[in-house]
Structure 1
Amino acid sequence: MQKILSLYVRNYDSDRLVRDEVVPGSEWVLAGEGVATRKWDGTSCLVRSGELWWRYDAKKGRTPPEGFQPAQAPDPVTGHHPGWLPVGEGPDDAYHREAWAAAGQALPDGTYELIGPKVQGNPEGVPTHRLVPHGQDTLPDAPREYAALRAYLEARPDMEGIVWHHPDGRMVKLKRKDFFGSRRR
């Protein structure tokens, strides 16, 4: 899974919040293209050919571990280099394995979000570890204008954000904290 563009430009030189200026390449969202879906607050995973992989970012200066499969070339500006590592038998992969077993069947190829009690502090408040398919939960009532999106996310403190999926595979995201900072729900 490649790094997903944000919908709005961030104020990197001050409060790090977004302003009413669209990131180049994200204009299609405001043009009404694509489907809005819920962004879950967990960690990204990949199912490919019946195997589970977890997302690893070989940030600037980090050497990717053995088995790393890049999802894209390193970003020359941020240094992010996202890719995938196979889920193994080590303790760091325990929650991935638990969610995989809980699925009870072979999951279709695609990307998923691992959520659960030991993932990111469990902001989703779920009792067990599970894999949620990306793009599954559509938000037909999600607006597409800056002020309306701010109000929409403010009224939904239980939701991390929105990801728009274009039919051609492009994606754009907007997180609640982009408007309000990192304050928790």
Structure 2
Amino acid sequence: MDEGSGRGRPRKNPGQLARWTPPDGWSRLVAWISPEEKKALKRVAVEAEVSVADLVRALAGGLAGGAITHEELTGHVRKGMRVMEKIPTLFERDDQFKVVDRPRAECAWVFDGAGAATEKLDGTNVRLTVRSGQLVRVEKRRNPSKVQKQQGIVDGWYVDADDHSAEDKWILVAARNTEVSGWPDGEHACEALGPRIQGNALALEEHRCVPFNLQVPEYGDVPRSYGQLWDYLTKLESRFAPGHLAEGIVFHHPDGRRAKIKRKDFPRAAA
């Protein structure tokens, strides 16, 4: 092996650093990243046999050229991880698993007045992947088992729905009944609803999926105290299915945090 061709050989002119002149109009981007993210970038760069800088430019070039979408690149941060993590209930629960007038610490932002409220739909959590207006993948939520929870696995994840599984039949029907031609490319977390799903609380006549990021109805001036929310949910009409009571409310903080409260969480069910 030619020792002169290996890494770490002395520079001919140690005092002179190599310089690269960027094209006109280019600018330098600086970002803080975690040690894990740094290792991941280096690993991918080594596998691709390019520098980390070239890898970052390739990502930027892919976005600029439309080869990848911002949802594909950041969806796991902006939606996917938020959707899969367990959404906390606004209040603590008693030994009957009903909420009591004691706000949960992690939901303090709700009681401070932050965030917007949307209708909580009573169905099954699924994820639809869309490309060029076509449905290309259907996934369902898988929750950790009791053993996995004991091992510290608390958040759910998605697995592919099975065309040959009776368990998945109706979420697949709901997915295929859903018009996605106008949806942007990417993965969309949804609630699958319909006559054969979760008791069909909204009395829908057909199965369909409602994407959380596109179509879930919002509510204004939602109260935020225990007693007021109890009374509010007792008579809150669904905006998705007028004439029926809404299951509950999900509060969304601008930074991605969420918190929920359902009518049946309170000590007595609404009539």
TM-score bucket (shorter structure): 0.7 to 0.9
Q: Return the index of the structure with the highest Cα Rg.
A: 2
Matched to 2:161, the amino acid is: V
1:176–1:76: structure 2 CA closer, same or farther, 3 Å change rule? farther
Matched to 2:168, the amino acid is: D
Which residue in 2 is equivalent to 1:96? 171
State the TM-score, normalized to the length of structure 1: 0.82
Consecutive unaligned residues of structure 2, counting only runs of 5 or more, are 1-83, 131-135, 237-243
1:121–1:138: structure 2 CA closer, same or farther, 3 Å change rule? same
Q: Please report how far the alpha carbon of residue 47 of structure 1 lies from its aligned counterpart in structure 2 after TM superposition.
A: 2.5
Query: Greater share of strand residues, 1 or 2?
Result: 1
Consecutive unaligned residues of structure 1, counting only runs of 5 or more, are 63-73
Which residue in 1 is equivalent to 2:256? 169
Residue from 150, 153, 159 that aligns with 2:246: 159
Matched, 1:139 2:226: no
1:98-122 residue CA offsets vs partner (Å, 9 max, x unmatched): 1121113354422111110001111
Moved more, 137-146 or 46-55: 46-55
Is 1:60–1:80's contact at 8 Å kept on the other side of the alignment?
no
1:132–1:104: structure 2 CA closer, same or farther, 3 Å change rule? closer
Matched to 1:170, the amino acid is: R
1:152–1:26: structure 2 CA closer, same or farther, 3 Å change rule? same
Aligned residues: 170
Which residue in 2 is equivalent to 1:71? none
Distance in 2 (CA, whole Å) between partners of 1:125 and 1:141 is: 27
Moved more, 51-60 or 101-110: 101-110
Which residue in 2 is equivalent to 1:111? 189
Matched, 1:5 2:92: no
Identity %: 33
Q: Please report how far the alpha carbon of residue 76 of structure 1 lies from its aligned counterpart in structure 2 after TM superposition.
A: 6.3
Q: Please report how far the alpha carbon of residue 174 of structure 1 lies from its aligned counterpart in structure 2 after TM superposition.
A: 0.3
Matched to 2:210, the amino acid is: V
Matched to 1:100, the amino acid is: A
Matched to 1:83, the amino acid is: W
SS in 1 for 2:114: coil
Matched, 1:59 2:137: no
Distance in 1 (CA, whole Å) between partners of 2:150 and 2:228 is: 31
Matched, 1:120 2:222: no
Moved more, 107-116 or 141-150: 107-116
- CA-based RMSD of the aligned residues comes to 2.2
1:72-130 residue CA offsets vs partner (Å, 9 max, x unmatched): xx5768x7441111122122221122112111335442211111000111111101111
Relative contact order (alpha carbons < 8 A, sep ≥ 6): 1 or 2 greater? Answer: 1
1:35–1:146: structure 2 CA closer, same or farther, 3 Å change rule? same
Matched to 1:29, the amino acid is: V
Matched to 2:222, the amino acid is: A
1:41–1:51: structure 2 CA closer, same or farther, 3 Å change rule? same
Q: Please report how far the alpha carbon of residue 61 of structure 1 lies from its aligned counterpart in structure 2 after TM superposition.
A: 2.6
1:76–1:143: structure 2 CA closer, same or farther, 3 Å change rule? farther
